[in-house]
């Protein structure tokens, strides 16, 4: 297939934004969700519908510009009244379906094989795909089993799995010994064994994938980020912000609090804003640390914001970002902080040293080095010159390396190369493949 021919592409992903939700008949009551939580003895979170996976929305905006691609986005949508909702926006075709029944059955059925036979999500998605007749299917995120499982039943079609993370990372069990291995872990592993083509954005994910599937063909992938328009400057209320979709030990939230206690020795009124979801157990644990360290007047919590733009406005109320993530390459939160012009203090993961390859863009500490983390935080408080240097360097870095238009075009080229390789064994251009030499081990 030549790069000039129009292709039909299906994305299997889980995302949500306010523009799409406005097109659907939704309920915020979510009876089944609350029933699931009651059955499993877990806390029922705020059922207000919210933005999910903003990088998908950004990538969709780039694909609106491509006349040679007919893009169909298939995604579960919580709270959907009825089984499906389909519509078109700016030339992109959306196919949403309810995941509520599949998740309800998941709470009742622990056996993954039995659940895969009974859950109704896959048959709905397969009907979408049969009608669309795509040239390629791109699963974005294998870790969300309730929608990713559909690829296990697809055949005779080229499929690409773009890795948002690797749930089967053994380190996950260090930070969360109770991580679900019955569904998330098991189904991601099945997908890694079944598929041939994958996309990875960092060395860690690529290496973990090849451990599970040494025959995998790995493309270079990219999950975009950008500064949304219309985010006004905010009055500074906090020194630091630590933000995540969900807080916990792997996000280093407790490390940020412990480092703050050291910083407070020289600045009594230092303020940390923790933004994002905390389940009951995590919040209790963090509150215990805060009280023990005498930080009750220094830490303020804000829950996850339903719309991503509102979260950005909250983040801009802080002068700096402390993001001691322990299990990732270059977390999207770091990229978002850089877009917002917030100097970043973070940990040295398998990817973050790359940010300082040419110029110092972030301040790094070894994972678990609370003293170094606190020293880096204090350096930002004490040196306006350092803070400005990091801001300028970060701006240069994101303009050079986070080019969403280029990466979207690269993804289209990847689809063509994958289809040609699948159908006629045509060689894949080296520039599209993941090159480990570009991602040295740290």
Euclidean distance between CA atoms 282 and 254, whole angstroms:
9
34-74 residue pLDDT tens: 666 666 666 656 567 888 998 999 999 999 999 999 999 99
Judged against a pLDDT cut of 70, whether residue 2 lies above it is answered with no
Within 31-131, strands assigned E span 69-76, 84-89, 92-97
How would residue 4 be classed by pLDDT, with cut points 50, 70 and 90? low
At 409 the pLDDT is 95
Tell the residue number behind the tokens 């075709």, with chain if given. Answer: 93
> Does the pLDDT value for residue 374 go beyond 70?
yes
Structure tokens at 188: 């991601």
For residue 310, count other CB atoms closer than 10 A to its CB: 14
Q: How far is the C-alpha of 246 from the C-alpha of 175, rounded, in Å?
A: 13
pLDDT in tens, 237-289: 999 999 998 898 889 999 999 999 999 999 999 999 999 988 888 899 999 99
Q: Which two tokens stand for residue 307?
A: 């719309």
CA distance 224 to 54: 9
| CA–CA distance, 216 with 220 (Å, rounded to integer) | 13
Q: What is the model's pLDDT at position 43? A: 60
120 close to 50: Cβ distance less than 8 angstroms: no
* Distance in angstroms (rounded) separating the CA atoms of residues 255 and 385: 26
Of 46, 49, 63, nearest in space to 20 by CA: 49
User: In the sheet where 238-246 sits, what is the strand order?
Assistant: 299-302, 272-277, 238-246, 318-323, 344-347, 362-365
CA atoms within 13 A on the CB side of 15: 25
Burial of 138 (0-12, 13-18, 19+ CB in 10 A): buried
Does pTM top 0.75 for this prediction? yes
Contact between 79 and 101 under an 8 Å Cβ cutoff? The reply is no
**Backbone CA torsion sign across 263, 265, 268, 274:** positive
What is the tens place of the pLDDT at every residue in 113-123? 999 998 888 89
Which residue segments constitute the domains of the chain, with CATH numbers given? 7-220 (3.40.50), 238-401 (3.40.50.2000)
Q: Convert the pLDDT of each residue in 306-340 to its tens digit.
A: 788 899 999 999 999 999 998 888 888 999 999 99
């Amino acid at each position: 297939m030549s790069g000039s021919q129009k292709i039909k592409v299906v994305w299997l992903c889980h995302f949500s934004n306010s523009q799409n939700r406005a097109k659907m008949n939704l309920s915020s009551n979510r009876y089944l969700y609350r029933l699931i939580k009651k059955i499993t003895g877990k806390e029922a979170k705020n059922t207000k519908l919210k933005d999910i996976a903003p990088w998908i929305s950004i990538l969709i905006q780039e694909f609106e510009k491509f006349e040679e691609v007919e893009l169909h986005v298939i995604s579960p949508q919580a709270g959907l009244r009825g089984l499906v909702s389909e519509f078109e926006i700016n030339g992109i075709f959306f196919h949403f379906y309810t995941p509520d029944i599949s998740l309800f059955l998941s709470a009742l059925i622990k056996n993954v094989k039995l659940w895969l036979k009974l859950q109704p999500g896959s048959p709905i998605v397969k009907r979408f795909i049969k009608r669309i007749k795509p040239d390629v299917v791109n699963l974005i995120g294998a870790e969300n089993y309730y929608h990713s499982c559909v690829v296990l039943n697809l055949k005779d079609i080229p499929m690409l799995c773009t890795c948002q993370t690797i749930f089967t990372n053994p380190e996950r069990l260090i930070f969360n010994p109770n991580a679900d291995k019955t569904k998330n872990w098991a189904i991601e592993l099945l997908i890694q064994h079944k598929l041939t083509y994958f996309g990875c954005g960092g060395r860690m994910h690529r290496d973990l994938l090849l451990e599970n599937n040494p025959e995998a063909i790995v493309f270079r992938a990219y999950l975009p980020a950008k500064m949304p328009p219309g985010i006004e400057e905010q009055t500074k209320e906090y020194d630091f912000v630590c933000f995540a979709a969900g807080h916990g030990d792997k996000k280093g939230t407790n490390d940020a609090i412990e480092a703050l206690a050291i910083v407070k020795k020289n600045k009594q009124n230092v303020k940390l804003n923790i933004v994002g979801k905390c389940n009951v157990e995590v919040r209790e644990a963090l509150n215990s640390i805060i009280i023990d360290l005498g930080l009750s007047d220094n830490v303020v919590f804000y829950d996850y914001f339903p719309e991503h733009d509102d979260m950005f406005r909250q983040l801009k109320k802080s002068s700096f970002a402390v993001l001691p993530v322990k299990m990732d390459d270059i977390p999207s939160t770091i990229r978002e902080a850089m877009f917002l012009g917030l100097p970043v203090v973070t940990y040295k993961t398998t990817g973050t040293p790359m940010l300082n390859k040419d110029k110092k863009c972030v301040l790094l500490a070894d994972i678990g080095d609370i003293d170094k983390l606190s020293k880096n935080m204090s350096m930002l408080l004490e040196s306006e010159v350092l803070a400005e240097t990091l801001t300028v360097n970060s701006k240069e870095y994101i303009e050079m390396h986070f080019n969403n238009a280029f990466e979207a075009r690269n993804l289209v080229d990847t689809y063509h190369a994958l289809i040609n390789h699948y159908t006629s064994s045509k060689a894949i251009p080296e520039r599209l493949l993941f090159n480990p030499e570009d991602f040295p081990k740290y």
